[in-house]
Chain A
Amino acid sequence: MKPVSPFLELDETARVPVTFDGTPLDLPQGANLAAALLVAGVDVFRHTPVSGAPRAPFCMMGACFECLVEIDGVVRQACMIDVTAGMDIRKAHEDFRGAV
Protein backbone atom coordinates (compact mmCIF):
# COMPACT_ATOMS: atom_id res chain seq x y z
CA MET A 1 0.00 0.00 0.00
CA LYS A 2 1.17 3.51 -0.80
CA PRO A 3 0.90 6.54 1.47
CA VAL A 4 -0.72 8.49 -1.39
CA SER A 5 -3.01 6.47 -3.60
CA PRO A 6 -2.54 6.69 -7.37
CA PHE A 7 -6.32 7.23 -7.50
CA LEU A 8 -8.60 9.95 -6.20
CA GLU A 9 -12.32 10.07 -5.54
CA LEU A 10 -14.76 12.77 -6.68
CA ASP A 11 -17.53 12.15 -4.15
CA GLU A 12 -17.62 11.83 -0.38
CA THR A 13 -19.69 8.88 0.82
CA ALA A 14 -20.36 7.42 4.26
CA ARG A 15 -17.67 4.89 5.14
CA VAL A 16 -17.78 1.49 6.72
CA PRO A 17 -14.99 -0.57 8.28
CA VAL A 18 -13.50 -3.60 6.49
CA THR A 19 -10.15 -5.35 6.70
CA PHE A 20 -7.68 -6.14 3.91
CA ASP A 21 -5.18 -8.84 4.85
CA GLY A 22 -5.97 -7.97 8.44
CA THR A 23 -5.35 -4.20 8.09
CA PRO A 24 -8.41 -2.07 8.95
CA LEU A 25 -9.68 0.17 6.13
CA ASP A 26 -12.66 2.52 5.89
CA LEU A 27 -14.31 2.18 2.48
CA PRO A 28 -17.35 3.95 1.04
CA GLN A 29 -20.52 1.97 1.79
CA GLY A 30 -21.98 0.43 -1.38
CA ALA A 31 -19.03 1.45 -3.57
CA ASN A 32 -17.51 -0.91 -6.10
CA LEU A 33 -15.04 -2.95 -4.06
CA ALA A 34 -12.20 -2.95 -6.61
CA ALA A 35 -12.44 0.82 -7.09
CA ALA A 36 -12.62 1.42 -3.34
CA LEU A 37 -9.53 -0.73 -2.67
CA LEU A 38 -7.57 1.08 -5.39
CA VAL A 39 -8.46 4.46 -3.87
CA ALA A 40 -7.45 3.12 -0.46
CA GLY A 41 -3.98 2.49 -1.92
CA VAL A 42 -4.16 -1.30 -2.28
CA ASP A 43 -2.05 -2.08 -5.33
CA VAL A 44 -1.71 -5.84 -5.21
CA PHE A 45 -4.97 -7.82 -5.11
CA ARG A 46 -3.56 -11.27 -5.63
CA HIS A 47 -0.52 -13.28 -6.61
CA THR A 48 -0.79 -15.64 -9.57
CA PRO A 49 -0.87 -19.37 -8.83
CA VAL A 50 1.65 -19.92 -11.66
CA SER A 51 4.62 -17.68 -10.74
CA GLY A 52 3.42 -15.70 -7.75
CA ALA A 53 3.47 -12.46 -9.77
CA PRO A 54 1.48 -9.56 -8.30
CA ARG A 55 -1.75 -8.59 -10.06
CA ALA A 56 -4.43 -5.94 -9.71
CA PRO A 57 -7.66 -4.99 -11.54
CA PHE A 58 -7.22 -4.78 -15.31
CA CYS A 59 -10.66 -4.65 -16.98
CA MET A 60 -13.11 -3.57 -14.24
CA MET A 61 -15.85 -5.39 -16.15
CA GLY A 62 -15.74 -8.93 -14.87
CA ALA A 63 -13.82 -10.38 -17.81
CA CYS A 64 -10.13 -10.68 -16.83
CA PHE A 65 -10.30 -12.19 -13.31
CA GLU A 66 -7.25 -10.18 -12.20
CA CYS A 67 -9.13 -8.56 -9.30
CA LEU A 68 -9.77 -11.82 -7.44
CA VAL A 69 -9.79 -11.50 -3.68
CA GLU A 70 -10.97 -13.78 -0.92
CA ILE A 71 -13.97 -12.38 0.92
CA ASP A 72 -15.03 -14.13 4.08
CA GLY A 73 -13.30 -17.21 2.71
CA VAL A 74 -14.78 -17.18 -0.82
CA VAL A 75 -12.76 -16.18 -3.93
CA ARG A 76 -14.63 -13.45 -5.81
CA GLN A 77 -14.13 -10.73 -8.42
CA ALA A 78 -13.72 -7.46 -6.52
CA CYS A 79 -14.88 -5.45 -9.55
CA MET A 80 -18.26 -7.19 -9.46
CA ILE A 81 -19.24 -6.58 -5.85
CA ASP A 82 -20.14 -3.69 -3.58
CA VAL A 83 -18.55 -2.74 -0.28
CA THR A 84 -20.43 -3.82 2.84
CA ALA A 85 -19.49 -3.28 6.46
CA GLY A 86 -17.26 -5.84 8.12
CA MET A 87 -15.93 -7.57 4.98
CA ASP A 88 -12.85 -9.68 5.72
CA ILE A 89 -10.89 -9.29 2.47
CA ARG A 90 -7.69 -11.13 1.70
CA LYS A 91 -5.41 -11.44 -1.29
CA ALA A 92 -6.41 -14.41 -3.43
CA HIS A 93 -3.73 -17.05 -3.81
CA GLU A 94 -5.72 -19.27 -6.09
CA ASP A 95 -8.14 -18.55 -8.88
CA PHE A 96 -11.31 -20.43 -9.66
CA ARG A 97 -9.60 -23.76 -10.14
CA GLY A 98 -11.93 -25.21 -7.51
CA ALA A 99 -15.05 -24.24 -9.46
CA VAL A 100 -16.92 -26.63 -11.75
Chain B
Amino acid sequence: MERFDLAIIGAGPAGMAAAREAADLGLAVVLLDEQARPGGQIYRDVERAGPVRGDILGEDYTAGTRLTQALLHDRIRHIAGAVLWAIEDGFCLSYTQDGRAAQVSADRVLIATGALERPMPLPGWTLPGVMTAGAGQILLKQSGVLARRAVLVGSGPLLYLIAAQMVRAGTPPLALVETQTVADRTRALHHISGALRGWRYLVKGLKLLAQITRARVPRHTGATGIAIEGSDRAEAVTFTSHGRAHRIDCDTVFLHHGVVPNTQAARSLGVMHRWRRDQACFSPVLDPWGETDVPGIYVAGDGAGIVGAKAAEHAGRLAALAVATSAGHLGQGERDRRAKRLRLALDRERAVRPFLDAAYPPCVEALAPADGTIICRCEEVTAGTIRSHAKLGCLGPNQSKAFGRAGMGPCQGRYCGLTVTALLAAANGRTEDDTGYYRIRPPLKPVTLGELAAMDDTSDGA
Protein backbone atom coordinates (compact mmCIF):
# COMPACT_ATOMS: atom_id res chain seq x y z
CA MET B 1 0.00 0.00 0.00
CA GLU B 2 1.44 3.35 -0.96
CA ARG B 3 1.98 5.76 1.92
CA PHE B 4 1.59 9.55 1.79
CA ASP B 5 2.22 12.36 4.25
CA LEU B 6 -1.27 13.72 3.66
CA ALA B 7 -4.43 12.31 2.14
CA ILE B 8 -7.07 14.81 1.05
CA ILE B 9 -10.63 13.79 0.30
CA GLY B 10 -12.36 16.15 -2.08
CA ALA B 11 -10.89 18.14 -4.98
CA GLY B 12 -13.00 21.27 -4.49
CA PRO B 13 -11.44 24.64 -3.64
CA ALA B 14 -10.54 23.55 -0.08
CA GLY B 15 -8.91 20.27 -1.13
CA MET B 16 -7.14 21.64 -4.21
CA ALA B 17 -5.67 24.64 -2.36
CA ALA B 18 -4.55 22.43 0.53
CA ALA B 19 -2.94 19.94 -1.85
CA ARG B 20 -0.80 22.57 -3.54
CA GLU B 21 0.14 24.31 -0.30
CA ALA B 22 1.21 21.03 1.29
CA ALA B 23 3.09 19.87 -1.80
CA ASP B 24 4.95 23.19 -1.99
CA LEU B 25 6.01 22.61 1.61
CA GLY B 26 7.51 19.26 0.66
CA LEU B 27 4.75 16.83 1.64
CA ALA B 28 3.72 13.87 -0.50
CA VAL B 29 0.00 14.32 -1.09
CA VAL B 30 -2.71 12.05 -2.40
CA LEU B 31 -5.96 13.74 -3.44
CA LEU B 32 -9.02 11.54 -3.85
CA ASP B 33 -12.25 12.66 -5.46
CA GLU B 34 -15.17 10.66 -6.79
CA GLN B 35 -15.58 13.02 -9.72
CA ALA B 36 -13.72 12.32 -12.94
CA ARG B 37 -12.25 15.82 -13.00
CA PRO B 38 -11.13 18.29 -10.30
CA GLY B 39 -13.15 21.36 -9.30
CA GLY B 40 -15.60 20.34 -6.59
CA GLN B 41 -19.13 21.73 -6.76
CA ILE B 42 -18.41 25.35 -7.59
CA TYR B 43 -15.79 24.66 -10.28
CA ARG B 44 -17.33 21.42 -11.51
CA ASP B 45 -15.68 20.39 -14.82
CA VAL B 46 -14.20 23.85 -15.25
CA GLU B 47 -11.38 22.55 -17.44
CA ARG B 48 -13.76 20.94 -19.91
CA ALA B 49 -16.36 23.68 -20.17
CA GLY B 50 -15.89 25.64 -23.41
CA PRO B 51 -16.23 29.42 -23.85
CA VAL B 52 -20.04 29.31 -24.30
CA ARG B 53 -20.56 27.61 -20.96
CA GLY B 54 -17.89 29.84 -19.42
CA ASP B 55 -19.83 32.98 -20.44
CA ILE B 56 -23.06 31.61 -19.02
CA LEU B 57 -21.51 30.51 -15.75
CA GLY B 58 -19.42 33.65 -15.27
CA GLU B 59 -15.96 34.60 -14.07
CA ASP B 60 -16.43 33.23 -10.57
CA TYR B 61 -16.64 29.83 -12.25
CA THR B 62 -13.89 30.07 -14.85
CA ALA B 63 -11.49 31.36 -12.16
CA GLY B 64 -11.38 27.78 -10.88
CA THR B 65 -8.80 26.75 -13.48
CA ARG B 66 -6.19 28.55 -11.34
CA LEU B 67 -6.70 25.85 -8.71
CA THR B 68 -7.13 22.88 -11.03
CA GLN B 69 -3.91 23.73 -12.90
CA ALA B 70 -2.00 24.06 -9.63
CA LEU B 71 -2.58 20.34 -9.09
CA LEU B 72 0.10 19.58 -11.66
CA HIS B 73 2.88 19.06 -9.19
CA ASP B 74 5.38 16.23 -8.67
CA ARG B 75 4.27 15.62 -5.11
CA ILE B 76 0.50 15.63 -5.76
CA ARG B 77 -1.17 12.45 -6.88
CA HIS B 78 -4.77 13.16 -7.86
CA ILE B 79 -6.74 9.93 -8.02
CA ALA B 80 -9.87 10.88 -9.93
CA GLY B 81 -13.09 8.91 -10.00
CA ALA B 82 -12.19 7.47 -6.58
CA VAL B 83 -15.18 6.98 -4.29
CA LEU B 84 -13.88 6.93 -0.71
CA TRP B 85 -15.83 4.51 1.47
CA ALA B 86 -13.71 4.00 4.60
CA ILE B 87 -11.04 5.71 6.67
CA GLU B 88 -9.51 3.44 9.28
CA ASP B 89 -6.94 3.86 12.02
CA GLY B 90 -3.49 4.78 11.13
CA PHE B 91 -4.89 6.02 8.47
CA CYS B 92 -5.88 3.57 5.78
CA LEU B 93 -8.23 4.90 3.13
CA SER B 94 -10.34 2.52 1.07
CA TYR B 95 -11.93 3.62 -2.16
CA THR B 96 -13.44 2.26 -5.34
CA GLN B 97 -12.24 3.29 -8.76
CA ASP B 98 -13.42 1.81 -12.06
CA GLY B 99 -15.21 -1.07 -10.37
CA ARG B 100 -12.19 -2.03 -8.25
CA ALA B 101 -11.54 -1.40 -4.58
CA ALA B 102 -8.09 -0.06 -3.63
CA GLN B 103 -6.31 1.45 -0.64
CA VAL B 104 -3.76 4.11 0.21
CA SER B 105 -2.40 5.14 3.57
CA ALA B 106 -1.44 8.50 5.01
CA ASP B 107 -0.14 9.98 8.27
CA ARG B 108 -2.78 12.70 8.25
CA VAL B 109 -6.13 13.16 6.53
CA LEU B 110 -7.88 16.33 5.43
CA ILE B 111 -11.60 15.90 4.86
CA ALA B 112 -12.68 18.46 2.26
CA THR B 113 -15.90 16.85 1.13
CA GLY B 114 -17.86 20.11 0.91
CA ALA B 115 -21.57 20.60 1.24
CA LEU B 116 -24.84 18.92 0.36
CA GLU B 117 -28.07 20.68 -0.49
CA ARG B 118 -30.15 21.13 2.63
CA PRO B 119 -32.95 18.57 2.43
CA MET B 120 -36.19 20.28 1.37
CA PRO B 121 -39.03 17.86 2.08
CA LEU B 122 -42.20 19.35 0.60
CA PRO B 123 -45.27 17.50 -0.67
CA GLY B 124 -44.33 15.97 -4.03
CA TRP B 125 -40.56 16.44 -3.76
CA THR B 126 -39.85 12.81 -4.65
CA LEU B 127 -41.54 13.08 -8.07
CA PRO B 128 -39.36 12.76 -11.18
CA GLY B 129 -38.69 16.27 -12.47
CA VAL B 130 -37.98 17.64 -8.99
CA MET B 131 -34.27 18.19 -8.41
CA THR B 132 -32.03 20.27 -6.22
CA ALA B 133 -31.03 23.62 -7.69
CA GLY B 134 -27.44 22.45 -7.36
CA ALA B 135 -28.33 19.52 -9.61
CA GLY B 136 -29.63 21.99 -12.18
CA GLN B 137 -26.33 23.78 -12.01
CA ILE B 138 -24.34 20.57 -12.29
CA LEU B 139 -26.33 19.70 -15.43
CA LEU B 140 -25.22 23.01 -16.90
CA LYS B 141 -21.58 22.93 -15.73
CA GLN B 142 -20.89 19.32 -16.50
CA SER B 143 -23.10 18.62 -19.49
CA GLY B 144 -24.28 21.93 -20.95
CA VAL B 145 -27.85 20.80 -20.26
CA LEU B 146 -30.69 23.18 -19.35
CA ALA B 147 -34.28 22.74 -18.20
CA ARG B 148 -36.74 24.32 -20.64
CA ARG B 149 -39.65 24.96 -18.26
CA ALA B 150 -38.37 25.15 -14.71
CA VAL B 151 -39.56 26.79 -11.51
CA LEU B 152 -37.01 27.61 -8.81
CA VAL B 153 -38.30 27.18 -5.27
CA GLY B 154 -36.73 28.21 -1.96
CA SER B 155 -34.33 30.89 -0.85
CA GLY B 156 -30.73 32.02 -0.85
CA PRO B 157 -28.03 33.54 -3.03
CA LEU B 158 -27.43 30.31 -4.95
CA LEU B 159 -31.02 30.39 -6.14
CA TYR B 160 -30.38 33.78 -7.75
CA LEU B 161 -27.06 32.65 -9.18
CA ILE B 162 -28.70 29.71 -10.89
CA ALA B 163 -31.63 31.81 -12.11
CA ALA B 164 -29.22 34.37 -13.61
CA GLN B 165 -27.18 31.61 -15.27
CA MET B 166 -30.37 30.23 -16.82
CA VAL B 167 -31.26 33.72 -18.05
CA ARG B 168 -27.83 34.11 -19.65
CA ALA B 169 -28.23 30.71 -21.31
CA GLY B 170 -31.46 31.87 -22.95
CA THR B 171 -33.76 29.57 -20.95
CA PRO B 172 -34.95 31.74 -18.04
CA PRO B 173 -36.89 29.95 -15.32
CA LEU B 174 -40.68 30.32 -15.49
CA ALA B 175 -40.70 31.82 -11.98
CA LEU B 176 -38.89 32.11 -8.67
CA VAL B 177 -40.98 30.98 -5.72
CA GLU B 178 -39.13 32.42 -2.73
CA THR B 179 -39.79 31.54 0.88
CA GLN B 180 -38.02 34.39 2.66
CA THR B 181 -40.19 37.19 4.08
CA VAL B 182 -39.99 40.92 4.69
CA ALA B 183 -39.38 40.15 8.38
CA ASP B 184 -36.29 38.14 7.41
CA ARG B 185 -34.93 41.13 5.54
CA THR B 186 -35.52 43.38 8.52
CA ARG B 187 -33.71 40.92 10.79
CA ALA B 188 -30.85 40.71 8.31
CA LEU B 189 -30.34 44.46 8.49
CA HIS B 190 -29.02 43.99 12.03
CA HIS B 191 -26.00 42.38 10.36
CA ILE B 192 -25.55 45.04 7.71
CA SER B 193 -22.17 46.22 8.98
CA GLY B 194 -20.66 42.79 8.39
CA ALA B 195 -22.39 42.66 5.05
CA LEU B 196 -20.81 45.96 4.07
CA ARG B 197 -17.39 44.53 4.87
CA GLY B 198 -18.27 41.86 2.35
CA TRP B 199 -19.72 44.45 -0.03
CA ARG B 200 -18.43 42.67 -3.12
CA TYR B 201 -20.91 39.89 -2.45
CA LEU B 202 -23.75 42.35 -2.06
CA VAL B 203 -22.89 44.02 -5.36
CA LYS B 204 -22.78 40.62 -7.05
CA GLY B 205 -26.13 39.69 -5.54
CA LEU B 206 -27.74 42.92 -6.72
CA LYS B 207 -26.38 42.37 -10.22
CA LEU B 208 -27.87 38.88 -10.29
CA LEU B 209 -31.24 40.21 -9.17
CA ALA B 210 -31.10 42.91 -11.85
CA GLN B 211 -30.48 40.29 -14.53
CA ILE B 212 -33.42 38.23 -13.28
CA THR B 213 -35.72 41.25 -13.19
CA ARG B 214 -34.63 42.45 -16.64
CA ALA B 215 -35.55 39.03 -18.05
CA ARG B 216 -39.02 39.54 -16.48
CA VAL B 217 -38.84 36.35 -14.44
CA PRO B 218 -41.74 36.61 -11.97
CA ARG B 219 -40.65 36.54 -8.31
CA HIS B 220 -43.13 35.38 -5.68
CA THR B 221 -41.81 36.06 -2.18
CA GLY B 222 -43.02 34.93 1.24
CA ALA B 223 -44.40 31.77 -0.38
CA THR B 224 -46.14 29.27 1.91
CA GLY B 225 -48.13 26.06 1.47
CA ILE B 226 -45.75 24.98 -1.31
CA ALA B 227 -46.49 21.65 -2.99
CA ILE B 228 -45.40 19.95 -6.18
CA GLU B 229 -48.25 18.33 -8.07
CA GLY B 230 -48.15 15.53 -10.60
CA SER B 231 -49.04 11.87 -10.87
CA ASP B 232 -45.95 10.25 -12.37
CA ARG B 233 -43.80 13.35 -12.64
CA ALA B 234 -43.79 17.00 -11.62
CA GLU B 235 -46.49 18.96 -13.46
CA ALA B 236 -46.98 22.12 -11.39
CA VAL B 237 -45.95 24.03 -8.29
CA THR B 238 -48.75 25.38 -6.08
CA PHE B 239 -48.34 27.89 -3.25
CA THR B 240 -49.73 31.02 -1.62
CA SER B 241 -47.90 34.32 -1.81
CA HIS B 242 -49.14 37.61 -0.31
CA GLY B 243 -52.58 36.15 0.26
CA ARG B 244 -53.06 34.77 -3.25
CA ALA B 245 -53.07 31.15 -4.32
CA HIS B 246 -50.88 30.33 -7.33
CA ARG B 247 -50.35 27.37 -9.62
CA ILE B 248 -47.50 27.36 -12.10
CA ASP B 249 -47.37 24.57 -14.68
CA CYS B 250 -43.84 23.33 -15.34
CA ASP B 251 -41.73 20.27 -16.21
CA THR B 252 -38.91 20.78 -13.76
CA VAL B 253 -38.73 22.07 -10.19
CA PHE B 254 -35.39 23.10 -8.70
CA LEU B 255 -35.41 23.19 -4.89
CA HIS B 256 -32.90 25.09 -2.79
CA HIS B 257 -32.83 26.58 0.68
CA GLY B 258 -29.16 26.58 1.43
CA VAL B 259 -26.39 24.03 1.65
CA VAL B 260 -25.19 22.17 4.76
CA PRO B 261 -21.88 20.50 5.61
CA ASN B 262 -21.44 16.98 4.29
CA THR B 263 -20.33 15.38 7.55
CA GLN B 264 -20.43 11.70 6.57
CA ALA B 265 -16.67 11.03 6.47
CA ALA B 266 -15.90 12.93 9.70
CA ARG B 267 -18.79 11.28 11.51
CA SER B 268 -17.62 7.82 10.45
CA LEU B 269 -14.44 8.55 12.46
CA GLY B 270 -16.39 9.62 15.52
CA VAL B 271 -15.42 13.29 15.18
CA MET B 272 -17.42 15.47 17.56
CA HIS B 273 -20.10 17.64 15.93
CA ARG B 274 -22.19 20.47 17.35
CA TRP B 275 -25.42 22.06 16.25
CA ARG B 276 -25.03 25.54 14.79
CA ARG B 277 -28.12 27.59 15.40
CA ASP B 278 -27.14 30.32 12.93
CA GLN B 279 -26.91 27.83 10.06
CA ALA B 280 -29.41 25.25 11.34
CA CYS B 281 -27.06 22.31 10.82
CA PHE B 282 -24.35 20.27 12.52
CA SER B 283 -20.69 21.00 11.92
CA PRO B 284 -17.50 19.39 13.25
CA VAL B 285 -15.77 20.89 16.29
CA LEU B 286 -12.36 22.14 15.11
CA ASP B 287 -9.32 23.91 16.46
CA PRO B 288 -8.16 27.12 14.71
CA TRP B 289 -6.26 25.02 12.13
CA GLY B 290 -9.14 22.78 11.25
CA GLU B 291 -7.99 19.78 13.30
CA THR B 292 -10.76 17.67 14.85
CA ASP B 293 -10.79 15.95 18.24
CA VAL B 294 -9.41 12.88 16.44
CA PRO B 295 -5.68 13.68 16.17
CA GLY B 296 -4.45 13.81 12.60
CA ILE B 297 -7.92 14.31 11.11
CA TYR B 298 -8.63 17.78 9.71
CA VAL B 299 -11.70 19.29 8.06
CA ALA B 300 -11.70 22.34 5.78
CA GLY B 301 -14.14 24.07 3.45
CA ASP B 302 -17.91 23.90 3.45
CA GLY B 303 -17.72 20.54 5.22
CA ALA B 304 -16.64 22.49 8.31
CA GLY B 305 -19.54 24.98 8.16
CA ILE B 306 -20.85 26.92 5.17
CA VAL B 307 -18.49 29.74 4.21
CA GLY B 308 -18.26 29.63 0.41
CA ALA B 309 -15.58 28.84 -2.11
CA LYS B 310 -13.01 31.57 -1.39
CA ALA B 311 -13.08 30.87 2.33
CA ALA B 312 -12.84 27.15 1.61
CA GLU B 313 -9.61 27.81 -0.24
CA HIS B 314 -8.11 29.80 2.66
CA ALA B 315 -9.20 27.19 5.20
CA GLY B 316 -7.64 24.46 3.06
CA ARG B 317 -4.31 26.32 3.04
CA LEU B 318 -4.47 26.87 6.81
CA ALA B 319 -4.95 23.16 7.40
CA ALA B 320 -2.06 22.39 5.05
CA LEU B 321 0.23 24.69 7.06
CA ALA B 322 -0.70 22.94 10.29
CA VAL B 323 -0.17 19.52 8.73
CA ALA B 324 3.23 20.60 7.41
CA THR B 325 4.25 21.77 10.86
CA SER B 326 3.15 18.63 12.62
CA ALA B 327 4.96 16.58 9.96
CA GLY B 328 8.14 18.57 10.66
CA HIS B 329 8.24 20.40 7.33
CA LEU B 330 7.54 23.90 8.60
CA GLY B 331 8.58 25.73 11.78
CA GLN B 332 5.86 27.07 14.06
CA GLY B 333 6.95 30.67 13.63
CA GLU B 334 6.81 30.43 9.87
CA ARG B 335 3.47 28.65 10.05
CA ASP B 336 2.00 31.43 12.18
CA ARG B 337 3.45 34.13 9.95
CA ARG B 338 1.89 32.58 6.85
CA ALA B 339 -1.36 31.93 8.66
CA LYS B 340 -1.88 35.57 9.55
CA ARG B 341 -2.62 36.64 5.98
CA LEU B 342 -4.94 33.65 5.49
CA ARG B 343 -6.88 34.37 8.66
CA LEU B 344 -7.45 37.98 7.64
CA ALA B 345 -8.74 36.84 4.27
CA LEU B 346 -10.93 34.23 5.94
CA ASP B 347 -12.45 36.83 8.27
CA ARG B 348 -13.25 39.05 5.29
CA GLU B 349 -15.06 36.17 3.60
CA ARG B 350 -16.98 35.29 6.75
CA ALA B 351 -18.14 38.86 7.35
CA VAL B 352 -21.10 38.64 4.98
CA ARG B 353 -22.40 35.30 6.31
CA PRO B 354 -24.52 36.48 9.27
CA PHE B 355 -26.34 38.85 6.92
CA LEU B 356 -26.95 36.13 4.32
CA ASP B 357 -27.97 33.54 6.94
CA ALA B 358 -30.53 35.98 8.40
CA ALA B 359 -31.83 37.29 5.06
CA TYR B 360 -32.34 33.82 3.55
CA PRO B 361 -33.24 31.44 6.37
CA PRO B 362 -34.27 27.87 5.52
CA CYS B 363 -37.89 27.37 4.48
CA VAL B 364 -39.87 26.79 7.69
CA GLU B 365 -42.33 24.27 6.26
CA ALA B 366 -39.46 22.15 4.94
CA LEU B 367 -37.72 22.21 8.34
CA ALA B 368 -40.88 20.96 10.04
CA PRO B 369 -42.79 19.17 7.28
CA ALA B 370 -46.47 18.24 7.51
CA ASP B 371 -47.19 14.71 8.79
CA GLY B 372 -47.97 13.32 5.34
CA THR B 373 -44.74 14.51 3.70
CA ILE B 374 -42.05 11.92 2.92
CA ILE B 375 -38.83 12.89 4.67
CA CYS B 376 -36.69 9.78 4.04
CA ARG B 377 -36.71 9.42 0.27
CA CYS B 378 -34.98 6.01 0.23
CA GLU B 379 -37.33 4.23 2.62
CA GLU B 380 -40.38 6.48 2.04
CA VAL B 381 -40.84 7.39 5.70
CA THR B 382 -43.09 10.38 6.47
CA ALA B 383 -42.67 13.17 9.01
CA GLY B 384 -45.75 11.86 10.81
CA THR B 385 -44.11 8.48 11.28
CA ILE B 386 -41.05 10.07 12.91
CA ARG B 387 -43.32 12.12 15.20
CA SER B 388 -45.15 8.95 16.17
CA HIS B 389 -41.80 7.37 17.07
CA ALA B 390 -41.21 10.29 19.43
CA LYS B 391 -44.55 9.58 21.10
CA LEU B 392 -43.40 6.02 21.68
CA GLY B 393 -40.32 7.29 23.47
CA CYS B 394 -37.81 7.62 20.67
CA LEU B 395 -35.27 10.29 21.64
CA GLY B 396 -32.69 10.24 18.86
CA PRO B 397 -32.10 9.31 15.20
CA ASN B 398 -30.28 6.07 16.01
CA GLN B 399 -33.17 4.87 18.08
CA SER B 400 -35.53 5.83 15.29
CA LYS B 401 -33.77 3.18 13.21
CA ALA B 402 -35.06 0.63 15.69
CA PHE B 403 -38.59 2.00 15.26
CA GLY B 404 -38.49 2.13 11.46
CA ARG B 405 -36.23 2.28 8.45
CA ALA B 406 -35.57 6.03 8.16
CA GLY B 407 -31.92 6.63 7.27
CA MET B 408 -31.21 3.01 6.40
CA GLY B 409 -31.39 3.32 2.63
CA PRO B 410 -28.45 3.79 0.29
CA CYS B 411 -28.14 7.56 0.86
CA GLN B 412 -27.37 6.80 4.52
CA GLY B 413 -29.38 9.73 5.80
CA ARG B 414 -27.71 12.39 3.65
CA TYR B 415 -31.13 13.76 2.68
CA CYS B 416 -33.11 12.98 5.83
CA GLY B 417 -30.66 13.14 8.75
CA LEU B 418 -31.12 16.79 9.64
CA THR B 419 -34.90 16.54 9.24
CA VAL B 420 -35.10 13.52 11.56
CA THR B 421 -32.99 15.31 14.18
CA ALA B 422 -35.16 18.44 13.93
CA LEU B 423 -38.45 16.49 14.11
CA LEU B 424 -37.38 14.46 17.14
CA ALA B 425 -35.91 17.50 18.89
CA ALA B 426 -39.14 19.46 18.43
CA ALA B 427 -41.40 16.56 19.40
CA ASN B 428 -39.41 15.79 22.54
CA GLY B 429 -38.68 19.38 23.52
CA ARG B 430 -34.94 18.70 23.53
CA THR B 431 -32.02 20.40 21.83
CA GLU B 432 -30.54 19.18 18.56
CA ASP B 433 -27.26 18.42 20.35
CA ASP B 434 -29.04 16.23 22.91
CA THR B 435 -31.06 14.60 20.14
CA GLY B 436 -27.94 13.83 18.10
CA TYR B 437 -27.51 12.49 14.60
CA TYR B 438 -27.32 9.12 12.85
CA ARG B 439 -24.24 7.12 13.72
CA ILE B 440 -22.37 6.80 10.44
CA ARG B 441 -20.43 3.63 9.81
CA PRO B 442 -18.32 2.61 6.84
CA PRO B 443 -18.86 1.87 4.03
CA LEU B 444 -19.77 5.52 3.40
CA LYS B 445 -20.95 4.53 -0.06
CA PRO B 446 -22.12 1.06 -1.05
CA VAL B 447 -19.35 -1.30 -2.15
CA THR B 448 -20.15 -4.47 -4.02
CA LEU B 449 -18.56 -7.85 -3.46
CA GLY B 450 -17.34 -7.71 -7.04
CA GLU B 451 -15.48 -4.48 -6.32
CA LEU B 452 -13.94 -5.95 -3.18
CA ALA B 453 -12.96 -9.15 -4.97
CA ALA B 454 -11.16 -7.06 -7.58
CA MET B 455 -9.08 -5.40 -4.86
CA ASP B 456 -5.41 -5.91 -5.40
CA ASP B 457 -3.39 -5.74 -2.17
CA THR B 458 -0.30 -4.60 -3.95
CA SER B 459 -2.35 -2.05 -5.83
CA ASP B 460 -0.91 1.41 -5.78
CA GLY B 461 -4.31 2.72 -6.75
CA ALA B 462 -3.15 4.29 -9.99
Find residues 312-364 in chain B having any chain A CB closer than 8 Å to their own CB: none
Tell me whether B219 is interfacial, beta carbon within 8 Å: no
Q: Measured between C-beta atoms, what is the minimum distance from B400 to chain A in Å?
A: 17
CB neighbours of A82 from chain B (8 A):
36
Q: How far is the CA of A10 from the CA of B57 in the complex (A)?
A: 13
Given A6-B251, A8-B148, are A61 and B138 also a contact pair (CB < 8 Å)? yes
The answer to whether B148 and A36 touch across the interface, beta carbons within 8 angstroms, is: no
B22-30, B67-75, B139-147, B283-291 - interface stretch: B139-147
The answer to whether A58 and B135 touch across the interface, beta carbons within 8 angstroms, is: yes
Find residues 98-156 in chain B having any chain A CB closer than 8 Å to their own CB: 116-117, 126-132, 134-135, 138-139, 142-149
Given A10-B52, A57-B135, are A32 and B146 also a contact pair (CB < 8 Å)? no
Interface of A, secondary structure class, is loop
CB neighbours of B440 from chain A (8 A):
none
Tell me whether A21 is interfacial, beta carbon within 8 Å: no
Tell me whether B227 is interfacial, beta carbon within 8 Å: no
The answer to whether A57 and B131 touch across the interface, beta carbons within 8 angstroms, is: yes
CB neighbours of A51 from chain B (8 A):
380
Q: Measured between C-beta atoms, what is the minimum distance from B82 to chain A in Å?
A: 11
Tell me whether B370 is interfacial, beta carbon within 8 Å: no
Q: How far is the CA of A35 from the CA of B45 in the complex (A)?
A: 14
The answer to whether A9 and B144 touch across the interface, beta carbons within 8 angstroms, is: yes
Given A11-B144, A35-B145, A95-B409, are A100 and B449 also a contact pair (CB < 8 Å)? yes
Q: Measured between C-beta atoms, what is the minimum distance from A87 to chain B in Å?
A: 14
Tell me whether B158 is interfacial, beta carbon within 8 Å: no
CB neighbours of B52 from chain A (8 A):
10-11
Q: How does the 8 Å CB contact mask read for A21-60 relative to B, with 1 for contact and 0 for none?
A: 0000000000110011011000111001011011111111
The answer to whether A7 and B378 touch across the interface, beta carbons within 8 angstroms, is: no
B207-215, B298-306, B410-418, B427-435 - interface stretch: B410-418
CB neighbours of A62 from chain B (8 A):
34, 83, 445
CB neighbours of A63 from chain B (8 A):
116, 262, 411, 414-415
Q: Measured between C-beta atoms, what is the minimum distance from B215 to chain A in Å?
A: 17
Tell me whether A14 is interfacial, beta carbon within 8 Å: no
CB neighbours of A54 from chain B (8 A):
127-128, 232-233
Tell me whether B193 is interfacial, beta carbon within 8 Å: no
Tell me whether A85 is interfacial, beta carbon within 8 Å: no
The answer to whether A35 and B410 touch across the interface, beta carbons within 8 angstroms, is: no
CB neighbours of B36 from chain A (8 A):
82
Q: How far is the CA of A57 from the CA of B411 in the complex (A)?
A: 13
CB neighbours of A66 from chain B (8 A):
377
Tell me whether B443 is interfacial, beta carbon within 8 Å: yes
CB neighbours of A6 from chain B (8 A):
129, 147-149, 251-252
CB neighbours of B147 from chain A (8 A):
6-7
The answer to whether B139 and A58 touch across the interface, beta carbons within 8 angstroms, is: no
CB neighbours of A56 from chain B (8 A):
128-129, 233
The answer to whether B377 and A100 touch across the interface, beta carbons within 8 angstroms, is: no
The answer to whether B448 and A58 touch across the interface, beta carbons within 8 angstroms, is: no
Tell me whether B5 is interfacial, beta carbon within 8 Å: no
Q: Measured between C-beta atoms, what is the minimum distance from B123 to chain A in Å?
A: 14
Tell me whether A3 is interfacial, beta carbon within 8 Å: no
Q: Measured between C-beta atoms, what is the minimum distance from A9 to chain B in Å?
A: 6
Tell me whether B273 is interfacial, beta carbon within 8 Å: no
- The chain A residue with its CB closest to the CB of B233 is A43
Besides A10-B52, A39-B145, A54-B233, 13 other A-B contacts (C-beta < 8 A): A6-B149, A6-B251, A9-B144, A9-B145, A11-B52, A35-B139, A38-B139, A44-B233, A61-B41, A64-B414, A66-B377, A74-B448, A100-B448
